[in-house]
């Protein structure tokens, strides 16, 4: 998104003294993203340090998460990268710490990965992402930490109340009904674990058709694996008419299923998970759109997109096609 908290070159140069990355060469605010303040940082490098060949990093100032909530996310990134998954490793400073404070916000540096995100993924790319998500879910089963989803039931109820006045009566009806249904839906038989929880197209980097990076683990939490699949396909496999593109959806789910087979309970819960995933981003986009925080650079996302996806899933919920 955005830069909510500006950082000057002088402030960053001073902050970088805690690291063995060499002096600052370039600092650039990143417009993409809507939750945290992000910057591309290039340093001169330091051959004597722990990261001798690295000079390109991403600096994140966390706008919502508190320092005590961040070890779950940053250590998950480190854990997955140690398991061979393309997640950016957080950089530890001279004292072995990967989390500091800059301009009053918790702040961390991670390795800047190569590649670009793709706005229009093809079938082969969806297949790759399906397989990758399943591998992340399997690897995450051994991750020892737990973190409750900050965007679960209580958040849904709170946010629905906050945005209600901006909706038409029909939209209010859809939202109230959906929030109530999701609150009582039985999730007890569904497999859980570490999930990314925001694996949209802009959070996967490709070099050609090959995934080079998975970024932005700052909503990661312990929750239903199937919910993560639903969040991901609602973005990666959606057609222009708010119905799934069948070829991309099947490629994604078949590659996922080949690595982590879906259970019978998951097949049954699929329609409700697709709806929960659409509701989650309808609510957060409404909140960010109508009740925005002040930002130096900001690009709110369109809430109507997920309203339409949710309405379509309610009209016609496709079965899990595997
Ligand atoms: N490790 C990385 N390597 C390369 N580019 C990165 C990396 N981390 C972030 N970026 C770039 O910064 C942009 C914003 O980062 P990110 O998606 O983490 O921001 P955010 O505000 O937390 O986003 P979101 O709105 O998705 O929650 C990305 O789209 C990407 O261009
Ligand atoms: N991926 C989210 C933004 C980050 O939470 C969206 O597209 O609404």
Report the SS3 class of residue 32: coil
Give the global pTM: 0.93
Do 242 and 186 share a domain, yes or no?
yes
Q: State which of 51, 58, 112, 214 you would mutate to test the pocket of ligand 1, scoring each by most atoms of that ligand within 8 A of its C-beta.
A: 58
135 C-beta closer than 6 A to ligand 2 = no
CA–CA distance, 256 with 137 (Å, rounded to integer): 10
Indicate if the pLDDT at residue 107 is higher than 70.
yes
Alpha-carbon distances, residue 192 vs 5, 141, 196, 224 (angstroms): 35, 8, 12, 4
Domain boundary among 88, 111, 134: 111
Do 243 and 152 share a domain, yes or no?
yes
Do 56 and 150 share a domain, yes or no?
no
Question: What range does the domain containing 210 cover?
Answer: 123-315
Ligand nearest to the CA of 200: 2
Do 133 and 257 share a domain, yes or no?
yes
Q: Give the domain CATH number at 185.
A: 3.90.1200.10
Residue 322 within a domain:
no
Domain boundary among 86, 111, 136: 111
Number of domains in the chain: 2
pLDDT, tens digit, for every residue of 189-224? Answer: 999 999 999 999 999 999 988 999 999 999 999 999
Task: Indicate which atom in ligand 1 lies nearest the CA of residue 34.
Answer: 25
Q: State which of 117, 220, 301, 304 you would mutate to test the pocket of ligand 2, scoring each by most atoms of that ligand within 8 A of its C-beta.
A: 301
CA–CA distance, 110 with 138 (Å, rounded to integer): 23
Instruction: Give percent of the chain above pLDDT 90.
Output: 87
* 105-144 b/e (C-beta count within 10 Å ≥ 16 → b): bbbbbbbbbebeebeebeeebbbbbbbbbbbbbebbeebe
pLDDT, tens digit, for every residue of 72-95? Answer: 999 999 999 999 999 998 999 999
Ligand nearest to the CA of 280: 2
Do 152 and 290 share a domain, yes or no?
yes
Nearest-5° Cα angle at 235, 234 to 236: 105
- Residue 63 is classified by DSSP as S
Do 81 and 190 share a domain, yes or no?
no
ipTM beyond 0.95?
no
Q: State which of 28, 30, 217 you would mutate to test the pocket of ligand 1, scoring each by most atoms of that ligand within 8 A of its C-beta.
A: 30
Report the SS3 class of residue 65: coil
Residue 291 within a domain:
yes
pLDDT at 209: 86
What number is the average pLDDT over the span 55-79? Answer: 94
The number of CA neighbours under 13 Å toward the Cβ of 76 is: 29
Q: Give the domain CATH number at 41.
A: 3.30.200.20
Do 203 and 293 share a domain, yes or no?
yes
pLDDT, tens digit, for every residue of 121-145? Answer: 999 999 999 999 999 999 999 999 9
Hey, whose CA ends up nearest to atom 28 of ligand 1?
A: 32
Do 32 and 181 share a domain, yes or no?
no
- Bridge partners of 207, per DSSP, are 210
Domain boundary among 69, 91, 111: 111
pLDDT at 31: 83
Give me ligand 1 centre to Cα 220, in Å.
14
pLDDT at 297: 53
DSSP per-residue letters across 144-200: ------TTSHHHHHHHHHHHGGGS-HHHHHHHHHHHHHHHH---TTS-EEEE-S---
pLDDT, tens digit, for every residue of 148-179? Answer: 999 999 999 999 999 999 999 999 999 999 99
235 C-beta closer than 6 A to ligand 2 = no
Q: How confident is the model at residue 1 (pLDDT cuts 50, 70, 90)?
A: very low
Do 177 and 271 share a domain, yes or no?
yes
Hey, whose CA ends up nearest to atom 19 of ligand 1?
A: 33
Indicate if the pLDDT at residue 278 is higher than 70.
yes
Ligand 1, CB cutoff 6 Å, lining residues: 1, 30, 32-36, 38, 58, 88, 110, 112-113, 198, 202-203, 213, 215-216, 218
Alpha-carbon distances, residue 167 vs 69, 147, 162, 285, 304 (angstroms): 32, 32, 11, 13, 11
Residue 280 within a domain:
yes
Do 57 and 172 share a domain, yes or no?
no
Do 161 and 297 share a domain, yes or no?
yes
What number is the average pLDDT over the span 235-240? Answer: 96
């Amino acid at each position: 998104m955005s830069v909510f908290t500006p950082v000057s070159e002088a402030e960053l140069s001073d902050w970088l003294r805690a690291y063995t990355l060499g002096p600052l060469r370039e600092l650039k605010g990143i417009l993409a993203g809507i939750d945290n303040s992000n910057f591309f940082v290039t340093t001169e490098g330091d051959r004597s340090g722990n990261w001798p060949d690295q000079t390109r990093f991403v600096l994140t100032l966390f706008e919502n998460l508190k320092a005590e909530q961040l070890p779950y996310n940053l250590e998950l990134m480190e854990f997955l990268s140690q398991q061979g998954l393309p997640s950016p490793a957080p950089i530890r400073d001279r004292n072995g710490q990967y989390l500091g404070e800059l301009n009053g916000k918790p702040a961390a540096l991670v390795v800047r990965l190569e590649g670009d995100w793709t706005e229009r993924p093809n079938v082969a790319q969806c297949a790759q992402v399906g397989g990758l998500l399943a591998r992340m879910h399997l690897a995450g089963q051994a991750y020892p930490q737990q973190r409750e989803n900050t965007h679960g039931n209580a958040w849904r109820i709170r946010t629905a109340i906050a945005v209600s006045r901006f909706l038409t009566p029909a939209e209010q009806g859809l939202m109230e009904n959906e929030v109530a249904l999701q609150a009582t839906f039985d999730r007890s038989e569904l497999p859980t674990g570490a999930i990314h929880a925001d694996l949209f197209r802009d959070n996967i980097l490709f070099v050609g058709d090959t995934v080079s990076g998975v970024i932005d683990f700052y909503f990661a939490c312990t929750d239903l694996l199937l919910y993560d699949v639903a969040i991901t396909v609602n973005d990666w496999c959606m057609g222009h008419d708010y119905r799934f593109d069948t070829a991309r959806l099947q490629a994604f789910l078949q590659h996922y299923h080949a690595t982590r087979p879906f259970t019978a309970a998951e097949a049954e819960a699929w329609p409700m998970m697709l709806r929960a995933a659409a509701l989650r981003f309808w609510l957060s986009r409404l909140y960010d759109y109508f009740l925005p925080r002040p930002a130096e650079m900001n690009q709110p996302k369109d809430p109507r997109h997920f309203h339409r996806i949710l309405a379509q899933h309610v009209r016609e919920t496709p079965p899990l096609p595997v």
